[in-house]
Structure 1
Amino acid sequence: MPELPEMENYRIQLSQLILDRPITKVTVGRDKSINKDSADFIREVTGTRIIFIERRGKHLLFHLDSGRRLLLHLMLGGLLYLGTDEDKPGRSTQVEISFGNQTLYFIGLRLGYLHLYSAKESDEFLSDLGPEVIDRRMTEEKFIQLFAKRRGALKSTLVNQHVIAGIGNCYADEIAFEAELRPSSKIQNLSRDDLAKLYHSSLAVFRHATDHGGYIELPLTKEDKLTGGFNDLCRVYDRAGEGCIRCDGVIEKSEIGGRKVFFCPKCQHDK
């Protein structure tokens, strides 16, 4: 599932490619991927322009010049591709938004969605999301206070979107590794120093992952050489059986709360 770095990569690239271009055609291939009658959805979006792209957690918000917003959550298996009919991937698309000869293809929206909302509706929809580590208003002290009263496994807390937004399975494991903590560590057992290290580890992992285009392998465009660059840079996620890059341990795979977990049992400490 795309997480904060993947969606931030999409936001940055699409902001350079589709802003202020008139939407010339909208195609809906799956009614369940949108929240309105398809004819109304097409009518309200066609002819508008996207004037700003915002990211909130794992969501993208496409601000239209009509005042409406398209709210995207890719969920598991969701992808984006911008190109022509000739070079689009051989994958089923649920929604297509065209800008002249180029089309933004929304792929794999079987669980994901693209909803059309007013500004108020989109704000209400996202209102229960927690803050983000990379928000300029977040500080080490605020982060410590945010986690200080929580209980439960570190992994489960990091992926809880009501606590902190944007972290999923992959980056929860990568952050825990950076902080030298087991994903199974209990939040209530972490010291202030542990939480401070967790905060700075989160920043470091997100910046590194975003700079390298996240872990999605499909490029956003035919010319895109950035997207997916972090896939080979993950240090523990999906690396079970491989040697640890930090010590002579071997990465193990486990499970917490129904989620797979990857960690080094030698240099990550349980609390």
Structure 2
Amino acid sequence: MPELPEVETLRRGLEKSLVGRRIAAVTVHERRLRRPLARSFARALVGRRIETVGRRAKYLLLELDDGATWLVHFGMSGTLVVLPATATRRLHTHVVIALDDGRVLHFHDPRRFGLMRVGRAAELAELTELGVEPLDAAFSAAYLHAAARRQRRAVKSMLMDQRLVVGIGNIYASEILFAAGVRPTRHTSRLARADAARIVAATSAVLAEALAARGSSIADYRDERGEPGDFQNRFRVYERAGAPCVRCGTAIRRKVIVGRSAFYCPRCQR
């Protein structure tokens, strides 16, 4: 699933291509996404000018000139690619948006877990009850430590809770906790203030590195140009079970926590 670095990479690229462009036509080839596309979806977009391209958590938010917001969630395998009008529509390209400059925007989602809605931002239920952004000042050691004291679960599960802090999924939770030296199975009640400070610092560093690498492409993710990211080539622990730790050489371990795989070094992480 695209996490914060992937969605933010898409946002930055799409912002350059889409802001100021008017939507000339919308063709829906498949409505059956995670939730079926509304019958009014195409009508709500045609003729509208895209004013801004923003992001909240893992949601892409395109603000339109009538005050509505076009919300996009990429699910497990979705992406938006800007292409020339002559581009061939691939299998699993479910929506094609024609722009007023002759280019097209393809929403490609092989697993169909993506989501697209158009409405007033205040009325979009997906945007309620979201936690703080991990790169904002609000995500501080004090905030994380206080939240941990209220939890009764593994630190990794807490870090992936979108009601607490948004945008962090399985990949980056493992990478962040390795950088912080905190084992993903550590109980939140045993997280000291110093541990929380290291996790906050590691979050900033890991996400910044992933953004510079244009995200991770381990399956379907591609940026707005259709190009893969590169951070998957820099993983320290994720999907490296049995491989030597880049710091100490100890074999990386994998453990399932609440149905999700966690990867860690048993020596470097406590």
TM-score (norm 2): 0.91
In structure 2, what is the equivalent of residue 118 of structure 1? Answer: 120
In structure 1, what is the equivalent of residue 257 of structure 2? Answer: 256
Which range is displaced more, 90-99 or 5-14?
Answer: 90-99
Given that 2:175 and 2:235 are in contact with CA atoms closer than 8 Å, whether structure 1 keeps it comes out as yes
Alignment map for 1:38-117 (pairs within 5 Å): 38=39, 40-84=40-84, 86-87=86-87, 90-99=90-99, 100-108=101-109, 110-117=112-119
- Where do 5+ consecutive residues of structure 1 fail to align? none
Specify whether residues 36 and 232 from structure 1 end up closer, same or farther in structure 2 by C-alpha distance, changes over 3 A only. closer
- Name the Cα RMSD after superposition: 1.9
Q: Residue 189 in 1 paired to residue 190 in 2?
A: yes
Given that 1:174 and 1:205 are in contact with CA atoms closer than 8 Å, whether structure 2 keeps it comes out as yes
Given that 1:81 and 1:88 are in contact with CA atoms closer than 8 Å, whether structure 2 keeps it comes out as no
Deviation at 1:219, TM superposition (A): 4.0
Deviation at 1:228, TM superposition (A): 0.7
In structure 2, what is the equivalent of residue 28 of structure 1? Answer: 28
Deviation at 1:184, TM superposition (A): 0.6
Report the AA paired with residue 134 of structure 1.
L
Q: Residue 240 in 1 paired to residue 244 in 2?
A: no
Percent identity (aligned): 34
Deviation at 1:35, TM superposition (A): 5.8
2:224 to 220, 226, 242: 220
How far apart, in 2, do the equivalents of 1:143 and 1:254 lie?
23
How far apart, in 1, do the equivalents of 2:231 and 2:207 lie?
11
Deviation at 1:119, TM superposition (A): 2.6
- Where do 5+ consecutive residues of structure 2 fail to align? none
Given that 1:36 and 1:116 are in contact with CA atoms closer than 8 Å, whether structure 2 keeps it comes out as no
How far apart, in 2, do the equivalents of 1:194 and 1:205 lie?
16
TM-score (norm 1): 0.90
Given that 1:243 and 1:249 are in contact with CA atoms closer than 8 Å, whether structure 2 keeps it comes out as yes
Q: The residue matched to 2:185 in structure 1 has which SS?
A: coil
Segments of 4+ in structure 1 off by > 4 A? 85-89
* Aligned residue-pair number: 264
